Chains A and B, each alone.
Chain A
């Protein structure tokens, strides 16, 4: 028994480690692919070489990032079966379908057309070549769509029924139109755009600080702000609405996220608190609250009732079986939600201030803000990773909500030693890759963009190649 629970814990450690690591690269690809496509389109339409140089400059960053995203994505696909064989057998009928469709519809598209884009500069007509990067962007978005459909089914299993101890798909339409999925897909794609926009903005700030290629990076900064300001604002609203959807289907997740033990109407939102995170210590020793805000965030109405964990626990015990703890780790969900939301707000404020300075023509000269822009590159990742921690930890103890518990889902044939070895190998490899990736990204983000030579910059084009 002790051994078994250790295996589950280790499998969870590995999943958390590899998934969060994978998601370091995913949002940048999701956002940078379409933004590079926009830059190339601007060049295609205007013939202005500045946009060509920017396309190739940010295209190189996209490629460095894409490679490691592909590599770590393989681990994601394999480890469901490796560490979670019971889960895999239980859910394959439903969860496997979007994964297989993702491979067929999205991975082939992005991988094949990325190859064409990288090596096709001189072999394809300009229009066809432009189409290839847009197809890459389409592929990355389709991939996000199917993955979020799969994940949302784990949050809210729809379109399926349980037969002979495993889930079976009954309606692919319900699976695809899961309300949870629709909001989650939009959320994750806006996260991608925000991330890429903040990276482009931060890199541009760095070049403006150096006072080199000013014209070029002023344009890049403008493009990134045009994206970052509205997208980060919309995403705050969208994320808040996702909270309402979560409240409807996973009230326990919201209660834990708010460290709300007793049902309240109206419920106030806790901005910061010390203590109050465990069954034995339900009252915080210090807290700052905004009255009625939680009611609004969770239900959409300032007077809505928000259920507390104590009541939900007894409800769940009746529905799913007694003697089990159905409360996810409260401290983790509480803080991951706040980090996500606070940092998300900060991103919007930085972008908005940047837009104001740009509008007043003072961006180049406001050096403290340019430095702030450079360091703000890290913010989207902090926010997005905290968001994933909230989503996945908040679903515990379930791996598929209401159907299968995480503790019952790992591979019975895999020993803790084996998983430990696997964690050791992957952690070492990932660390080495992270160092190399960081060095390469920094280096290629700080060089001068290559000068185009001749018509269409033919000679210097390998900058975008291997």
Chain B
């Protein structure tokens, strides 16, 4: 197989992994102000993703680094072109990252409130911008014949890309809610299921709209045939329909599987629609970056392919094991006591 195709697929896979895993982290973050009744339940919600969010975020870091290494021209044009959008993403991700570690380091209610909101705002913001940014690759942005971006921030905001952004936000919120139904117990679990039922139809509807629109844009603006983009889009729509059905049928495990599938297929639809281009130019279609024009040399790709083939299975293995270790549900009495309080009491601090 052509190494460019392999790396295009691998980067798609990394984004899919990021959406699948960080998707529910973001969803949990978005639901933080709404689901819990007290600080204890908030703590439980944080703990459902506590052990895994950092590893999940690495999928993004690797997607970025892989783009840099395999398609330098894509990385250069995308990151310099989407400058302000990425600055916003960095802001959202940073306040969210530190919120995990810092929230519990003080008992002050105001302090905890601040970091909870940091997590929520960060989750909303990052999800929205990733949706807008990735769909903009397909919709097209102004790129001149040197491959340089010539537009501004507003070029990223089109009806289609905003729809895709909103779809990603709703999808993640839904995904997070079905995730919580699998990881919590009792009252909190009930409320997570109720939230999932409320989110199911809007999320599925807007995501369906975005998926259909993606296929239309692919045909219209990226010179694609209906097939293959239609295939992942149709499967994605079906998965989300099943997710709606299962959540109302109170089968939360099946619903979570379907939101996971829907999230992955959303990314798959975008990347299938994009191929063989990586950034469409709205200035002149001929200026679009392709996997051939943007790629690294054969030798560099070959070296990294060997490394990726050796390491990726190991990563999947130990990340999978982590989910196995933390598979049990959380909630109830064991979390009634606040950890920091407990320590403070023990030490008299």
Query: Interface residues, chain A, CB within 8 Å of chain B?
Result: 63-64, 66-68, 70-75, 77-78, 80-83, 85-86, 88-97, 99-105, 107-109, 111-116, 118-120, 123-124, 163, 166, 168-170, 172, 411-414, 418, 421-422, 425-426, 429, 433, 436, 440, 443-444, 447-451, 453, 459-460, 462-463, 465-466
The reply to whether B76 and A453 form a contact with Cβ atoms under 8 Å apart is: no
Set A74, A80, A172, A460: member contacting B342, Cβ < 8 A = A460
The reply to whether A123 and B75 form a contact with Cβ atoms under 8 Å apart is: no
**Interface membership of B62, Cβ < 8 A:** yes
The reply to whether A115 and B52 form a contact with Cβ atoms under 8 Å apart is: yes
Pick 17 A–B contacts, CB within 8 A, sort by A: A68-B98, A70-B54, A75-B94, A78-B90, A85-B77, A88-B68, A88-B79, A89-B75, A96-B69, A100-B62, A100-B68, A100-B304, A101-B311, A124-B325, A447-B347, A466-B103, A466-B339
Candidate in B50, B73, B94, B296 with the most chain A CB atoms within 10 angstroms = B94
With contacts A67-B101, A425-B87 taken as known, whether A89 is within 8 angstroms of B322 at the C-beta atoms is no
In the complex the two chains form, what is the Cα distance from A412 to B339 in whole Å? 51
**Interface membership of B211, Cβ < 8 A:** no
**Interface membership of B219, Cβ < 8 A:** no
A53 vs chain B, min Cβ distance (A): 10
Chain A residues positioned under 8 Å from B346 (CB to CB) = 450-451, 453, 459-460
**Interface membership of B55, Cβ < 8 A:** yes
Set B72, B90, B93: member contacting A93, Cβ < 8 A = B72
In the complex the two chains form, what is the Cα distance from A107 to B80 in whole Å? 24
With contacts A93-B297, A104-B62 taken as known, whether A413 is within 8 angstroms of B80 at the C-beta atoms is yes
Please tell me the number of chain B residues within 8 Å of chain A, measured between CB atoms.
Answer: 73
With contacts A83-B80, A88-B75, A115-B55 taken as known, whether A97 is within 8 angstroms of B61 at the C-beta atoms is no
The reply to whether B349 and A104 form a contact with Cβ atoms under 8 Å apart is: no
**Interface membership of B336, Cβ < 8 A:** no
The reply to whether B100 and A116 form a contact with Cβ atoms under 8 Å apart is: no
Set A105, A425, A429: member contacting B307, Cβ < 8 A = A105
In the complex the two chains form, what is the Cα distance from A104 to B316 in whole Å? 11
- Encode B320-341 as 1/0 by CB contact (under 8 A) with A: 0010011000000000000110
Set A74, A97, A426, A448: member contacting B304, Cβ < 8 A = A97
With contacts A115-B52, A450-B347, A463-B343 taken as known, whether A81 is within 8 angstroms of B307 at the C-beta atoms is no
The reply to whether B297 and A101 form a contact with Cβ atoms under 8 Å apart is: no
In the complex the two chains form, what is the Cα distance from A415 to B91 in whole Å? 20
In the complex the two chains form, what is the Cα distance from A339 to B326 in whole Å? 48
**Interface membership of B19, Cβ < 8 A:** no
Chain B residues positioned under 8 Å from A81 (CB to CB) = 68, 75-76, 78-80
In the complex the two chains form, what is the Cα distance from A114 to B303 in whole Å? 29
Chain A residues positioned under 8 Å from B300 (CB to CB) = 93-94, 96-97, 168-169
